[in-house]
Chains A and B, each alone.
Chain A
Amino acid sequence: SQTIHQWPATLVQPVGSPLSLECTVEGTSNPNLYWYRQAAGRGLQLLFYSVGIGQISSEVPQNLSASRPQDRQFILSSKKLLLSDSGFYLCAWSVRYSGGEGYTFGSGTRLTVV
């Protein structure tokens, strides 16, 4: 069966520090991968998605970047965190080339920038 792992679960970082959140998927190949953010009191916003290794699409301009060094690994990064980067970050995957399989989400990382 397919599983998605996301870590760390909780992170407190000072303003200006770097960030690296990792997401890995098991039990599937060639997935679409996604990073979403849920800010306090707001809805889920798509940040990045990837349809293959090294292929990253950004949905909104921001202080963050994403990379996909391996087929089932998706990394969210920042060189210098801002207070506005605080939020709940969720990784998700779906089957590529199909609109009918739906999404599976990880358990999320709660990031607090202080």
Chain B
Amino acid sequence: KQEVTQIPAALSVPEGENLVLNCSFTDSAIYNLQWFRQDPGKGLTSLLLIQSSQREQTSGRLNASLDKSSGRSTLYIAASQPGDSATYLCAVGAGTASKLTFGTGTRLQVTL
């Protein structure tokens, strides 16, 4: 059974700092890995999708990497802003219907 772990569970940084969120998974037989953002009381917004054959994806200040063999992914956020404050979720897709298994999330707070 796939298990996805995210470290740290919570993180508080001052504005402008670069930061790294970590995600690990136990079964490397995945189709893809997706990073989402969730604001309080809201749905999930997709940030980046990495196919199993890819090593990384970039969108603006965000960069996600994937090391499938070691079961790890990182989300790098450059020059953090207060608007980046949210919970970040990592999810791996595998199996029938490419079902997603989610990590428990990292709650990020960027302070002024």
Contact = CB atoms under 8 A, between A and B. Distances in A.
Most buried by B among A34, A94, A101, A102: A102
Given A43-B103, A43-B104, A102-B49, A49 B97 contact: yes
A68 to B, nearest CB: 12
Interface string A93-105: 0101011111111
Contacts, number: 68
Overall SS of chain A's interface: strand
Interface residues of A, number: 27
B39 to A, nearest CB: 11
A44 B105 CA distance: 10
Interface of B: 31-32, 34, 36, 41-46, 49, 51-52, 89, 91, 93-94, 96-105
CB-based closest 3 A-B pairs: A99-B31, A102-B49, A105-B44
Interface of A: 6, 32, 34, 43-44, 46, 49, 51, 57, 59, 88, 90, 92, 94, 96, 98-108, 110
